[in-house]
Structure 1
Amino acid sequence: MKKEFVKGMRHGIPIMLGYLSVSFGFGVLCIQQNLSILAAVGISVTNLTSAGQVAGVEIIAAGGSLLEMVLCQLVINLRYSLMSLSLSQKLDPSFNIMHRLFVGFGVTDEIFAVASSQTEPLKPSYMYGLILTPFLGWSTGTLIGAIAGDIMPPMVTAALSLMLYGMFIAIILPPAKKDRKVLFVVLIAAALSVVIRFCLPMISSGFSVIICALVASIVGALFFPVSDRERGEDNT
């Protein structure tokens, strides 16, 4: 058990280092939106979703409703449920319901990718180690960023807050350059966001995210449906 836990922690170190830098930008963003250092760290400790956290903070800053928050998080974080379902096929028989619940909390894109690459069944101790180091990196980075944002001049914190948006661009660009279908869907979402921002200012930022994500997904599904051949490749 100890060996598997240490192995998981070792595999999580590269993720931790990436999260440390990205969450620094989130901590700065929280301070910009007049949240306290404690609130910023509390959000990161209870949530492991960069896009969801950023959208949530913007909804809080705009005085959005709980319904808006719930719908926004549901749309943004629904993929984690699908990732967890996929990982459930690789779990060791020792995974009981409590282990599944705790591990489900820590499933992120990067953790899912590392766990999926393992050839042996995933044991609880390995998954806890794999989640622990990124969790500490994300929470610690948020704390450092929030402290820095609280003492640095506004001009500097405004520049540092761009780190998060740079990360989102870095995530989008590689698949968009590789596949024109992805690029088309991304451009649809971006164009719709601009239209809502300037033509429909009465729509809050939270609902804007929901509308853009849903419309872009529907347009992508209608114009670029998954072929039977692609389904077959995914199932192999």
Structure 2
Amino acid sequence: MRRQSVPATGVELIRLDGVTKRYGNGAAPAVADVDLAVHAGEAVAIMGPSGSGKSTLLNLIAAMDRPTTGTVQVGRDRVDKMNETAAAKYRRRQVGMIFQFFNLLDDMTVMDNILLPAQLAGGRSDAARQRADQLLDRLRLNHRRDAYPARLSGGERQRVAIARALINRPALLLADEPTGAVDTRAGEEIGALLLDLNSTGQTLILVTHNPELAARYASRVISVADGRIRSDSANPAGPTGAPGMGVQR
């Protein structure tokens, strides 16, 4: 069944100008002279082989790394100018991140994992718990709220990670190989969730090496190699995939 994404609003959310990132003197740049703009509401896939620079781009946008040269702006924030305290605040409030290997805390329950970013952001506990309850319900995790990550399947752990990423209603959702550590069925379910989120206006950047995943779940595909953007084109078919779960921002 075809899923329609919400068109980009025309409001520029992300801009990278002349961004280069080097690790160590004399090393080839991980990212080289990249110019990139992403508008609010877009679903963008960044594709490339291992070592192409796609995850570095994601880390620069998330303020987990800083460019050697160039500027990174998200909304009104100059991300490349942030100190560690400001960067942590920015990530907590503006960015939701989904990782290939989930990054859940093993000694915390599902509910506590989901609530953690809200607690770190200093939000109201009652509002955060209400939001967490909504996400648990929509992601079909209510029966797992008191379970620990070790007791969950890979697909369940990734759904918990998505709920955690959404708890603060971030402007930007970054997904780094989100289906890479789950089986095919769970991967399709995760993809359907991402489609649903984008259909409600959630800006999504998906890093993947899988062209099929990019074609199904993004309206725009950017290919990178050797740290440079080699192509940047609209996906003429638009995102397609299985019906999702009605997740709301």
TM over 0.5: no
Structure whose residues are more often helix by fraction: 1
Normalising by structure 1, report the TM-score. Answer: 0.31
Normalising by structure 2, report the TM-score. Answer: 0.30
Which of the pair has more CA radius of gyration? Answer: 1
Higher relative contact order (Cα pairs below 8 Å, separated by 6+ residues):
1
